[in-house]
Amino acid sequence: MLLWIGMTFERQEIELHGQRVSYRTAGSGPALLLLHGIANSSDTWARVAPLLSEHYTVIAPDLLGHGESATPRGDYSLGAHASGARDVVTALGHERVTVVGHSLGGGIAMQYAYQFPERTERLVLVSSGGLGRDVHFLLRAASLPVADYVLPALTSQRLVGLGRDLGGLLAKVGLRPSADIAVLARGFAELDNAGSRRAFLHTLRSVVEPGGQRVSAEDRLGLAARLPTLIVWGEDDSIIPVAHGEAAHEVMPGSRFVSFEGAGHMPQESQPHHFAAVLAEFCEATEPARLTYDHWQPLLEGGHDR
């Protein structure tokens, strides 16, 4: 249980298509759908959600195969995760949302907006995947076949301590350790059972290969011309470089780009008040999109937007 500014924010569960889905929700007002990254959970939003829930309805699911949700054998593609997120939103009685995605969740958020434009009011990408090839070498290494045999040895709570110890060692020799090492260590430490490890590898390999990210939304970013879009990145992100966000901003008409000085891959955790203020200002300053399900058709045909 988490205590959020005078309210109890408990994990809740629903069954969707025969599978257990864990989620957290709080607040009232326009709906924000918060999608976490790989090997993370709704805990990713624990520091910022209390601030957002003062003015918005916050919906933070554990993606299938993550957190407290079920880990079935099945489809862990971006499209499947987007459909699962849509089902959670529908089950909770919301028609439209501002979809906010971090890391892998950013790729899912873009897929959500592409598959369900009529249900998407705004798009917010936080240190998002799917915008370039570069990604941390540990994630590239985890996509190798040998990871099936090595991962069980790495996914213990000791790895979190290893991340801290490595940071201290680097500091002693005059190198500034990256907080993102601890982020990766924490994520791997969550893979403490065969089901979660299997889901992690299926999800990872759907978007990452040894050479880098294998899924790209770059050829579709222009389709967001009528969808208010905010891109947020930590300037010191060592998992996915800030240059990806800058490049996406250049080709997304009307998008906003905000970089967080001193932040790494998790700006919503390291600077929650700043993050909440930037997101709230964006929502207040933009009109929610009202798109139709076939909004993309004239653009795909090379015609003019409606």
> What pLDDT, in 10s, does the model give residues 9-60?
678 999 999 999 999 999 999 999 999 999 899 999 999 999 999 999 999 9
Instruction: Give the C-alpha separation, 256 to 123, whole Å.
Output: 11
Instruction: Give the C-alpha separation, 298 to 306, whole Å.
Output: 8
Structure tokens at 296: 């993309």
What does the pLDDT look like over 185-214, one tens digit per residue? 778 778 878 899 999 999 999 999 999 999
| For residues 255-273, average pLDDT | 97
Q: Going edge to edge, which strands form the sheet with 19-26? A: 12-16, 19-26, 57-61, 31-35, 97-102, 120-126, 229-234, 256-260
Tokens 């709230």 correspond to what residue? 280
pLDDT band at residue 169 using 50, 70 and 90 as cut-offs: very low
Active-site option among 237, 255, 270, 295? 237
pTM of the model: 0.89
Looking at residue 154, its pLDDT comes to 56
Structure tokens at 165: 């110890």
Residue type, 98: T
Q: Which of 51-65, 157-171, 178-192 has the largest mean confidence? A: 51-65
> Is pLDDT above 60 for 232?
yes
The domain 2-133+215-300 having CATH identifier 3.40.50.1820: the answer here is yes
Active-site option among 66, 249, 265, 295? 265
| Entry field: residues in the chain | 306
The answer to whether residue 103 is catalytic is yes
Instruction: Give the C-alpha separation, 205 to 266, whole Å.
Output: 22
Instruction: Give the C-alpha separation, 162 to 182, whole Å.
Output: 8
The answer to whether residue 265 is catalytic is yes
Cα distances from 29 to residues 178, 263, 286, in angstroms, run: 37, 29, 16
> Domain coordinates of the chain in residue numbers?
2-133+215-300, 137-209
Active-site option among 22, 41, 53, 103? 103
Asked if 294 and 114 count as a contact pair (C-beta separation under 8 A), the reply is no
Please name every residue paired with 48 in a beta bridge, in sequence order, or none if there are none.
none
